[in-house]
Amino acid sequence: MSVAEASQTPLDRLRRLGEARSLAIIGIWLGVLAVWLSVPPFTIRALVVPAAAAVLGASLGLWALTRGERKLGWWAIGVALLAILVALWFQSEESAELESVFSIGLLAATFRFAAPLAFAAMGGIFSERSGVVNIGLEGMMLAGAFFGIVVVAETGQWELGLLGAMAAGAVLALIHAFFSIHLRADQIISGFAINFLALGVTGYLFRSIYGTRGTPELEERIPNVHLPLIEDIPFFGDLFGNLNLMIWLMFAVVLTSFIVLFKTPIGLRIRSVGEHPKAADTVGISVFKVRYAAVILSGVLAALGGAYLSFGTGNAFNENMTAGRGFIALAAVIFGNWRPFGAFGACLLFGFSSALALRLQGSPLLPSDLASANLLSTLPYVLTLVVLVGVIGRSRGPAAAGRPYVKQ
């Protein structure tokens, strides 16, 4: 560094870094835009348009890179290169084939895949923000899926089914809370125990109640919401005109979670307990009560995600039907930096990759050995791994997460 630079005040340096950062972020978005332009519905055929956006994005990235913002700079360049590849590749494809993959349906499917994750992730955020790691989300989802559908099958009412699911999730969460808060057990082990418990109990009851026939034909499932006014608007209407109730509920839960956590006294208390329980205790906040409430809420939310799987988007229960979604939700929590919108974004990303994988199966867009169902269905999990590797060590969670609080 030259003499002139060394003599700059700290404030100047900070300001400069800030600029590089924001430019790198703009660069990344330009790259994303480039990809977006080359797929339906736009499908811009002139390669120059997406390419121009990508090149601009890459140069911003480079600019940032040389000015100290290494990570984001590389990201911008990476995204831009990817964008150019995608654009090139799509130039040669038939429009119709492209549209069979990239369509409104893809976005709708993204919501469907994201919803169970988002419910569980919001649950995870509440629990972890209060200082209790909840590996048991997976089991709580599974319990919600099973007990919910049992109630629907018995009563024929989906509303009661949701209540049943929530109750099941709450009971499991209560067990987790008791072990990890009261008995100060290791939270990871307790969470794992919850998962095995849920897997065992639902598997056993499923077979002993329904035998080999599986859950009966459901008379009622969670309904879709028709919005006649919106339905007629092109594009927008196709997407939002006829969504499942649970998807709307998901939007509401994400928004409410954000408001509760960051805009209310309750949220302030939850976060304080997760960051520094002793400090919370010394101002008269009951660490135990807050943690119990947060963990139980996480069970309820996770169970709603499970319920949506079995009688919202689906119409039957299978053993272990959550298939690791609770863990993906946990990854989304970390990726989203323990913030509702961040985690929701991550859920949409995972949802999108699942939806894409489904559509690409057997699609002429891919060489046939790549388009196999088995390989493609690993896409969301691979993505989870990549994201976690990229993000771990960089994101900072609640300081006291995982540590039991010992009162004198």
Partner 1 sequence: MADIPLLELKGITKRFPGVIANDHVDFELVKGEVHALLGENGAGKSTLMNILYGLYHPDEGEVRLDGKRVRIDSPRAAIDLGIGMVHQHFMLIPVMTVAENIVLGVEPHSGPFLNIDAAEKRVRDLSERFGLAVRPEALIESISVGMQQRVEILKALYRGAEILILDEPTAVLTPQEAEELFEIIRSLQAEGKSIVFITHKLGEVLAIADRVTVLRRGKTIETVPREGATEEGLARLMVGREVLLRVDKTPAQPGDPLLTVEDLRVFDERHLEAVRGVSLEVRAGEIVGIAGVDGNGQSELVEAITGLRRPESGRVVAVGEDITNEGARDSLEAGVGHIPEDRQRRGLVLDFTLAENIALKDYCEEPDSKWGWLYPKRLVARAKRLLTEFDVRGGGPQTLAASLSGGNQQKVVVAREVSRDPRILVAAQPTRGLDVGAIEFVHRRLVAERDEGRAILLVSFELDEILSLSDRILVMYEGRVVGEYSPDVSEEELGIAMTGGGREVAA
Binding site for partner 1 (CB under 8 A): 6, 10, 13-14, 17, 68, 259, 263-265, 267-269, 271-272, 275-276, 278-285, 396, 399, 408
Q: What is the dihedral of CA 98, 104, 106, 112, to 10 degrees?
A: -170
Least distance (Å) between residue 206 CB and partner 1:
41
Please state, in angstroms and rounded to a whole number, the distance separating the CA atoms of residues 119 and 129. Answer: 16
Reported in sequence order, the residue ranges of 101-236 that DSSP labels E, i.e. its strands, are 224-226
Least distance (Å) between residue 282 CB and partner 1:
5
Strand partners, 225: 243
CA distances, 110 to each of 336, 347, 384 (Å): 18, 9, 16
Instruction: Bin 131: left if φ > 0, else alpha if -120 < ψ < 50, else beta.
Output: left
Strand partners, 242: 226
Residue number, 47 or 285, with CB nearest to partner 1: 285
Residue number, 229 or 406, with CB nearest to partner 1: 406
Instruction: Bin 327: left if φ > 0, else alpha if -120 < ψ < 50, else beta.
Output: alpha
Least distance (Å) between residue 245 CB and partner 1:
25
Enter the DSSP assignment of 225. E
Residue number, 46 or 266, with CB nearest to partner 1: 266
Residue number, 329 or 343, with CB nearest to partner 1: 343
Residue number, 373 or 399, with CB nearest to partner 1: 399
Residue number, 271 or 325, with CB nearest to partner 1: 271
∠ Cα 286 287 290 (to 5°)? 85
- Contact indicator for 218, 198 with CB cutoff of 8 Å: no
Q: Which of 240, 220, 219, 221 is nearest to 229 (CA)?
A: 240
Least distance (Å) between residue 243 CB and partner 1:
28
3-class DSSP state of 107: helix
Least distance (Å) between residue 6 CB and partner 1:
7
Least distance (Å) between residue 28 CB and partner 1:
22
- H-helix segments, 213-339: 228-231, 236-240, 245-263, 265-275, 277-282, 287-308, 325-335
Please state, in angstroms and rounded to a whole number, the distance separating the CA atoms of residues 321 and 138. Answer: 10
Least distance (Å) between residue 190 CB and partner 1:
20
Residue number, 171 or 285, with CB nearest to partner 1: 285
Please state, in angstroms and rounded to a whole number, the distance separating the CA atoms of residues 141 and 289. Answer: 23
Least distance (Å) between residue 225 CB and partner 1:
26
Residue number, 22 or 361, with CB nearest to partner 1: 22
